[in-house]
Structure 1
Amino acid sequence: MTHARDHQRDHQRDHWPTSQPTTSQLAQRLTLAGAHLAAGVPVLIVCAVAVVAFVTGTGLSWLPLLAVGPALAAATSRPWGVLRIGVLAVALGALLSARGGAEGHEQAIVLSALVAVALASGLASAERVRRERVLAAVRSVAEAAQHALLKPVPATVGQFQVAVRYSAAAAEARIGGDLYALVATPYGVRLIVGDVRGKGLPAVSTAALVLGVFREAAYDEPDLLDVVGRIERSLARNLGPDDFVTAVVVGYPGAGHMEVVNCGHAPPLLVRDSDVLAVEPTHPAPPLGLRALSGETPTLQLLPFADGDQLLLYTDGVTEARNRSREFYPLIDRVPRHLSDEPSQTLAALHDELLSHVGGRLHDDAALLLLRKPAAVGAPALAAPRHTDGAPPDHVAVEPSYKAARLTG
């Protein structure tokens, strides 16, 4: 039981754009060591200036440089630390000026300047600390919004193993315009992966709207096309004329096949045996929010999905990520290199390679969601879907088109 809880907790951490735990701990230690080093540099500067002034015996010539200590400390230390360094600088300045035989008014001018710099640096440090607290509060709110908007997906949902990787282009904000959700409903497991046009808060607001409608409709509507229809109607009421959302909505009704509705989104990748197949829509449909302009309606594709098959959904932030040579990330070619029986390991390897491809930082939101149907020991083969009249409905495309990429080893 404890092992299961640990596995669940480790899997949920994969949903966030973070490094592996060991790397994160090392980064924290390096950051802490750097902070201690930066805090000690102003003291070293003050002491170095004092030593030079004492050795050279040039009177007040070097003493103005004592102000560098508290001024630099304002960027790294808290207000009381800055003031302590300021007091040290003033005290050393008074001793050295007295030893050098400086006149009273000259000594007063230098010491007044040091006091003024120390006080100003203390105030600057206090303002910096206040802004850091505000930023920490904003990040906390962003993290809460991330949890509410993109809820962590468990390691298993229904019959499937699941993994998710999400990276926002604005790393400090944690959230962006890409969206995903996966829910178990009375009509089987259903999921959505989408990309909102635009960035920033308007895109986040639209993503929240889409996810809210999807989670509600997925439980209520027996037909997957009706789920898509409810999202479309909601967006038509709330979006501007130039706004839209590309999305793939997928359902598994439990009959050995997937139902796929693609609304202008990148085609999912079906991993089967030694092939990676791009599931191109048989009848392309416009993105959500643009149906009224085009008049086209989406169709339902039936995708055979057997034990051991995997389905990878993603956003264009993955496939349009460029390296320094302006080359796109070749997702369909790289998937076979990292396939495993654990979706979390597969996505972790893909995500790390993606970051390496772009040089460490993405310039667009990117989401990856991988579903795997593990082989059921002793389970009977599932029959193909049947319809009461012996033929599929008009809106169902039984033969989805594929683009295959053979594994080369």
Structure 2
Amino acid sequence: MLTSRDPDDLSAADGRNRPAPPLRWRAVLVWLIGITAVLVVTGLVLGRETRLAPFLIVVPALIAGRGTVRQTAVASVWVTVVIAASLFDTPMGTMGADAAVVVFAVLFNGLSVARAAQRVHRETEIARLRSAAAALQRQLLRPFPLVTDQLLVHGLYQPVEEDSRVGGDVYEVVASPFGSRVFIADVQGKGLPAISAAFAVLSAFREAAVTEPTLTAVVDALEEAVLRHNSFAAQVGERERFVTALVLGVDSEQEVQVINCGHVAPLLLHSEGAGPVLDADPCVPLGLDSLAPEPRTVEWFSFPHEGTLLLCTDGVTEARDPSGAFYPLEERAVTWGGILPKDVPAALYRDLRHHTAGTPTDDTALLVLRRRSGLGM
């Protein structure tokens, strides 16, 4: 699921996650006929006995890495026939060795076909996993923009969807009797188990956000949800997980309350630039409250009507360029204060993709919050 992005962003990201296309039959035939012709012509020109086995026998194995099972089988038959034909007119005394070469070619080519079948089966399973994960995430997360009485929220969510690397980033904005509650979180680990934990904590937030009068009570409910999930996961042999999260309470007042459970701190964008809004150190992530020396506490900060608040997961801040340098979010955010809030997600993701040379390796999730009164609504 991807939102608030231009068509170029969408095509580039999809191309990154899409597996390499299979070989075309034309390419397979060019490989087979071309390599065979080169070896035969080389043997004739040099006036030497043409021994194709040491060279041709690797062709089916190469095709097995990208081609279909049928393409690999055709290449195997071709190679075996050519090798047998090249040995047809050899001296009688070498028939035993020639037969051994043909048998070896048959066995090796059979292994190539088996390898192609195994690879195709694995790719099918990966595609099924990607499809299931993407469908589940679409059910978990609502599309942008998200609107409450106090907030207009744009954003972006781009899962990696690469093998088992799909992660557990989640977000939600809920209108409650106590104002707007905002939630963004990142589950430790990857794969479907991480999505399962994300579903547990997201469901707990949606319920607690509208029933609990205080933000600390909401976070306590999230802590209990993570502990319950870890308890059930342990019964089936899954490891325990923790969740970094940011929970905000926004009402008509300028001051906003937040509890930071080990998450990336928010940034306030304004016409003069951008900067952090929290002074205190983060509390422990959800699921680790028993290790904390003190209870989690609420911090307050100013969210003016003309400001824009940016929340994100560590898929943004921990993205690295080819040299290993982290993405400088605060430095880059200075230039986004003057653009429309709905355009910030696309601008950030374009810059992030450029920083990582087009290959982000973790989920990317971000929310861009603007007060509706600040938009004249």
| Superposition TM-score, scaled by structure 2 size | 0.77
Partner in structure 1 of residue 278 of structure 2: 280
TM superposition shift of 1:68:
2.5
Query: Aligned match of 1:226 in 214, 217, 222?
Result: 217
Partner in structure 1 of residue 330 of structure 2: 332
CA separation of 1:35/1:337 partners in 2, compared to 1, >3 Å: closer, same or farther?
A: farther
CA separation of 1:239/1:108 partners in 2, compared to 1, >3 Å: closer, same or farther?
A: closer
- The CA distance in 1 between the partners of 2:133 and 2:310, in whole Å, is 27
Q: Deviations over 1:294-351 (max 9, x none)?
A: 3424226363441x42111123443344556665433222112234544453223223
Range with greater deviation from structure 2 (244-253 or 324-333): 324-333
> Structure 2 stretches of 5 or more lacking a match?
232-239
- The CA distance in 2 between the partners of 1:322 and 1:187, in whole Å, is 39
Partner in structure 2 of residue 46 of structure 1: 36
Asked if 1:131 corresponds to 2:130, the answer is: no
Range with greater deviation from structure 2 (315-324 or 159-168): 315-324
Asked if 1:192 corresponds to 2:183, the answer is: yes
Partner in structure 2 of residue 14 of structure 1: 3
Partner in structure 1 of residue 109 of structure 2: 118
Q: Deviations over 1:122-156 (max 9, x none)?
A: 2222222222222222222222333344x143224
Give, as a single letter, the amino acid of the residue that structure 2 aligns with 1:46.
T
- The CA distance in 1 between the partners of 2:68 and 2:181, in whole Å, is 51
- The CA distance in 1 between the partners of 2:185 and 2:116, in whole Å, is 43
Partner in structure 1 of residue 236 of structure 2: none
Query: Aligned match of 2:154 in 157, 162, 168?
Result: 162
- The CA distance in 2 between the partners of 1:47 and 1:75, in whole Å, is 23
Say whether the 8 Å CA contact 1:269–1:313 is kept in structure 2. yes
Partner in structure 2 of residue 309 of structure 1: 307
- The CA distance in 2 between the partners of 1:373 and 1:22, in whole Å, is 32
TM superposition shift of 1:230:
1.7
Query: Aligned match of 2:366 in 365, 368, 390?
Result: 368
Say whether the 8 Å CA contact 2:271–2:338 is kept in structure 1. no
Query: Aligned match of 1:81 in 71, 85, 110?
Result: 71
Q: Deviations over 1:341-373 (max 9, x none)?
A: 444532232233334434554565553221234
- The CA distance in 2 between the partners of 1:285 and 1:68, in whole Å, is 58
RMSD: 3.9
CA separation of 1:369/1:37 partners in 2, compared to 1, >3 Å: closer, same or farther?
A: farther
Secondary structure of the residue aligned to 1:13 is: coil
Give, as a single letter, the amino acid of the residue that structure 2 aligns with 1:160.
L
TM superposition shift of 1:250:
1.6
Partner in structure 1 of residue 344 of structure 2: 346
TM superposition shift of 1:160:
0.5
- The CA distance in 2 between the partners of 1:130 and 1:378, in whole Å, is 56
- The CA distance in 1 between the partners of 2:191 and 2:17, in whole Å, is 28
- The CA distance in 1 between the partners of 2:309 and 2:260, in whole Å, is 14
TM superposition shift of 1:187:
4.5
Q: Deviations over 1:192-212 (max 9, x none)?
A: 122345556665443332212
Range with greater deviation from structure 2 (328-337 or 313-322): 313-322
CA separation of 1:160/1:83 partners in 2, compared to 1, >3 Å: closer, same or farther?
A: same
Give, as a single letter, the amino acid of the residue that structure 1 aligns with 2:3.
D
CA separation of 1:238/1:125 partners in 2, compared to 1, >3 Å: closer, same or farther?
A: closer
After superposition, residues 91-102 of structure 1 pair within 5 angstroms as 91-98=81-88, 100-102=89-91
| Superposition TM-score, scaled by structure 1 size | 0.72
| Identity across matched positions, percent | 33
Say whether the 8 Å CA contact 1:343–1:372 is kept in structure 2. yes
CA separation of 1:76/1:176 partners in 2, compared to 1, >3 Å: closer, same or farther?
A: closer
CA separation of 1:109/1:361 partners in 2, compared to 1, >3 Å: closer, same or farther?
A: same
Partner in structure 2 of residue 247 of structure 1: 245
